[in-house]
Amino acid sequence: MAKPKVAFYWCASCGGCEEAVVDLAENILKVVEAVEFVLWPVAMDFKIKDVEALQDGEIAVSFINGSIRTGEQEHIAKLLRKKSGLVVAFGACAHIGGTPGLANFSNREIIFDYVYQKSPSLDNPNKIFPQEKTTVKEGELTLPKFYNTVFTLDQVIDVDYYLPGCAPPPDLIMNAVEAILTGNLPSKGTVLAPDKSLCDTCKRKITKPEKAVIKQFRRVHEVLLDPEKCFLDQGIICLGPATRDGCGERCINANMPCRGCFGSTSRVEDQGAKFLSALASIIDADSEEEIKKITDSIADPAGIFYYYSLPASMLGRKFRAEL
């Protein structure tokens, strides 16, 4: 019997999601035995024309990681959508935008100006900027269009399921692969992780503040962190109250606060706003000046509250901008 065809693709991301597949360890052999890869640029040499030659819907499932930042990423995401029965947004960047999505606090012009003109490590005396088309004697060279905005995968194509996390943990990947291979799938649009908050399972939750106690926020390098105590109780921003469970408290166990890579639960529309509301209830202040003093002690609040989720948020980006 023919094995189901599977594609992996990598858009705007760091490559950690690809490594997460390797982290399946010996389980990767079970996956390789059960499926036929038709595209996996990081590991195997397939060409886009091989994918174009497939029938529409012939790929059983495409796992696409990374947000969408360039025209080429959009083109291949659309091609894979056409050729696939199922598309899974794999990892935080495809799911909610991820850290590349922090670029939505800026725009293409500002980014290019810094990277190609102002960066202190730059050596670009002729102020050369990347061009989408360059004519050389051998012909025309092209680069993909670099968009003004970073998009989540489902802002560009229809997505069937989401595997959250930076990167998704091996147990959730294996559960998803098994569910797909056996056809035992939840309803379309499901995030394949528990629908409760990280604080629900965090072993530090007994010390999580329930009333206004915080007079000042600090950063992790400014405090000798107590490994048993809730980060919020130590004045350290931890996005656990606004973040979906399922990672096994990876950062907390390493004595680092959560930055929200799993996104929020299904009951929350905007992860940053949800965290802001959780935070408001534990700030101990009697006047506007005091509130300002306490909130001013948070370094880069928008960047922390939307560390992973800016493109998926109600804000979306800082400036209104065209592609």
Selected from 198, 214, 310, 312, the binder of ligand SF4 by CB under 6 A is 198
Sole window of 34-42, 48-56, 172-180, 247-255 interacting with ligand SF4 (rule: CB under 6 A): 247-255
- Residue 217 near ligand SF4 by CB under 6 A: no
Cis omega before residue 312 (within 30°)? no
- Residue 208 near ligand SF4 by CB under 6 A: yes
Please, which of residues 164-183 interact with ligand SF4 by CB under 6 A?
166
Q: Are residues 190 and 118 in contact, defined by beta-carbon separation less than 8 angstroms?
A: no
**Count of residues in contact with ligand SF4, rule CB under 6 A:** 24
Give buried/exposed letters for 70-106 (b at 16+ CB in 10 A, else e). Answer: bbbbbebbebbbbbbebbbbbbbbbbbbbbbbbbbbb
Residue 51 or 163: the one with the smaller Cβ distance to ligand SF4 is: 163
- Residue 196 near ligand SF4 by CB under 6 A: no
Sole window of 72-80, 81-89, 214-222, 249-257 interacting with ligand SF4 (rule: CB under 6 A): 249-257
Sole window of 131-139, 183-191, 229-237, 315-323 interacting with ligand SF4 (rule: CB under 6 A): 229-237
Distance CA(106)–CA(101), nearest Å, equals 10
Query: Would strands 5-10 and 59-65 be described as parallel, antiparallel, or unpaired?
Result: parallel
Please, which of residues 252-281 interact with ligand SF4 by CB under 6 A?
252, 258-262
Q: Are residues 198 and 247 in contact, defined by beta-carbon separation less than 8 angstroms?
A: yes
Tokens of 190: 């499901």
Distance CA(266)–CA(137), nearest Å, equals 55
Residue 101 or 107: the one with the smaller Cβ distance to ligand SF4 is: 101
Instruction: Determine the residue type at 295.
Output: T
φ/ψ of residue 94, rounded to 5: -70, -35
Selected from 77, 232, 242, 279, the binder of ligand SF4 by CB under 6 A is 232
The site for ligand SF4 (CB under 6 A) is made up of 166, 198-199, 202, 204-205, 208, 230-232, 238, 240-241, 243, 247, 249-252, 258-262
